[in-house]
Copies of this chain bind each other. A is one copy, B any other.
Amino acid sequence: MSAPGPLSLNTVTVRDRWSLAQCIEGCARHGIPGISPWRDKLAELGVAQAARQIRDAGLFVSGLCRGGMFPAADAAGRRAAIEDNLRAIEEAQAIGAACLVVLGGGLPPGSKDLPGARAMFRDGLAAILPAARAAGVTLALEPLHPMTCADRSVLSTLGQALDLAEEFGEGVGIALDVYHVWWDPDLARQMQRARGRIAAFHACDWLMPTTDLVFDRGMMGDGVIDIPAIRAMAEAAGYAGPCEVEILSRRWWAEDPDTVLETIKARHATAC
């Protein structure tokens, strides 16, 4: 029997109505023990101030979203991405984040060279890893659903992410989001390979029908993903950490955030 793990709120889930300060206060008030900010919200509040408020509220930080996004049309663009990632590592360290979530990024504009974009991702990861190791910040590679391959993530499967994690070793882990991996026919085998490498576990649900490729994720329990089964695989692979809820959804963004947090708490108990 798996347990859902302590709950953490990814701030994107209420991004349209709450600032980071409101998210911190809201988590504390609702008894949600963890938080995972996005960098735009962090910048609004200021990193030092955010770190203080999170600490004062007694919250743990399950991750910082997001680094990566290395593929770019030219060398200057790739350098800029690396420099931005170095800042993200400092921010993750400053707020005591368990990891920096690292996304693949899409194809450079006009490009059809997917193997080339994947090589750019690997090169970017190699470039920032020494700084991440020095800072003690785990880089959590998050494979995104293949439907985002063109414009958001050339990192598409758990197997592909594990290949990189195994190649680079210390300091590189996996951010596992049930939304992105639930369909994978190779999931059970790859989850066994993931032993000791899972740095984050994200939950939401796949709605049927799904009406948008990015902004129609569902609340846990409203869709078709067997979340407890995936959680059990993660635990069998040694993961016992938080369950971070990250829902990009126009429907939930329109709701009162207090209702969203209440719903998350209820579903965390029944559907995760």
Contact = CB atoms under 8 A, between A and B. Distances in A.
Interface of A: 106-107, 111-114, 118, 145-147, 149-151, 156-157, 159-160, 182-186, 206, 208-211, 213, 223-226
B210 A147 contact: yes
Copies in the complex: 2
B208 A210 contact: no
Contact of A185 (B147, B160, B182, B209): B160
8 contacts: A114-B226, A118-B185, A146-B146, A146-B147, A147-B147, A149-B182, A149-B183, A157-B185
B150 A206 contact: yes
A178 to B, nearest CB: 11
Contacts of A213: 147, 209-211, 213
Contacts of A114: 182-183, 226
A27 B149 CA distance: 34
Given A112-B226, A114-B226, A184 B210 contact: no
Contacts of A210: 147, 150, 213
A67 B225 CA distance: 26
Question: Which 6 residue pairs across A and B have the least CB separation, nearest first?
Answer: A149-B183, A160-B185, A147-B147, A146-B183, A112-B226, A150-B208
A208 B146 contact: no
A112 B221 CA distance: 10
A185 B223 CA distance: 27
Residue of A146, A213, A225, A226 with most chain B CB atoms under a 10 A cut-off? A146
Nearest to A185: B160
A223 B113 CA distance: 12
A45 B160 CA distance: 47
A20 B4 CA distance: 53
B118 A224 contact: no
Contacts of A159: 185-186
Interface-central residue, A185, A186, A211, A226, by most chain B CB under 10 Å: A185
A117 B111 CA distance: 37
A160 B183 CA distance: 12
A160 B184 CA distance: 9
A132 B53 CA distance: 67
Contact of A145 (B147, B157, B223): B147
B184 A146 contact: yes
